[in-house]
Amino acid sequence: MGALLTRDLALAVKAGGGFGLSLAFFLIVVTLVPFGVGPETGRLAEIAPGILWVGALLACLLSLDRLFQLDWEDGSLDLLAVSPLPMEGVVATKALAHWITTGLPLTLAAPVLGLLLNLPGPGYLWLLVSLALGTPALSMIGAFGAALTVGLKRGGLLLSLLVLPLYVPTLIFGAEVVRRAIDGQAFATPLAMLAGLTLATLALLPFAAAAAIRINLR
């Protein structure tokens, strides 16, 4: 599994799906918002949690179509399917590689980009915490969507249509944690729901994604 993780990390960077592309897209989204809604600091502060979460979510989509597609094209996915490695472990490893190259850099960059949206002081820590809890779910859900569409022509658009509705609960609870922290309200409930969603996703979706890959390889 370690060798597979190292290989996927190297491929993600070489194929242009590393943290640079995602961070650039995240930065563009955040910098465009003031042009669209106006430069008023009060308005920007009010919408900052949602905008930062939406930007991170959309940035995660950029490299999802390459999670299994490169292995499908060169035949590596067939070899992985007949190797001693369980397909569920392969899916989890690829989701982990995606999170390391995409989710983790976005999480670390979000507080810095929050300055551009005048994010209130109490929100920075909990923005970091909520993204750290939520982005693994985004990567795992994305891996499931990529498994469903692997081998399909123009599967990128279909992948986005499949994955975006599944991202909504994570988006809602993640942004709500930051919003409540800023307003001084209790945020334990949305934080627990966010953690529960992530744990459920990590526990169940590797098996669903592995089953989808086996079906697509038949």
For residue 57, the model assigns a pLDDT of 92
Nearest Cα residue to 213 out of 117, 124, 83, 109: 83
Q: Sign of dihedral through CA atoms 173, 158, 29, 19?
A: positive
Q: How confident is the model at residue 215 (pLDDT cuts 50, 70, 90)?
A: confident
Of the given ranges (8-17, 20-29, 78-87, 186-195), which has the lowest mean pLDDT? 8-17
Return phi, psi of residue 82, to 5°: -100, 5
Yes or no: say if 187 and 177 are a contact pair by the CB < 8 Å rule.
Answer: yes
**d(Cα 61, Cα 56) in Å, to the nearest integer?**
9
Give the contacts of 123 (CB within 8 A, at least 6 positions apart).
48, 49, 114, 178, 179, 181, 182
Give the CA angle between residues 36, 127, 6 to the nearest 5°: 105
**d(Cα 91, Cα 143) in Å, to the nearest integer?**
7
Yes or no: say if 77 and 217 are a contact pair by the CB < 8 Å rule.
Answer: yes
For residue 205, the model assigns a pLDDT of 94
SS3 139: helix
Q: How confident is the model at residue 13 (pLDDT cuts 50, 70, 90)?
A: low
Q: For residue 155, is pLDDT > 70? A: no
Residue range 31-38: mean pLDDT, rounded: 86
Residue range 61-68: mean pLDDT, rounded: 80
Yes or no: say if 98 and 106 are a contact pair by the CB < 8 Å rule.
Answer: no
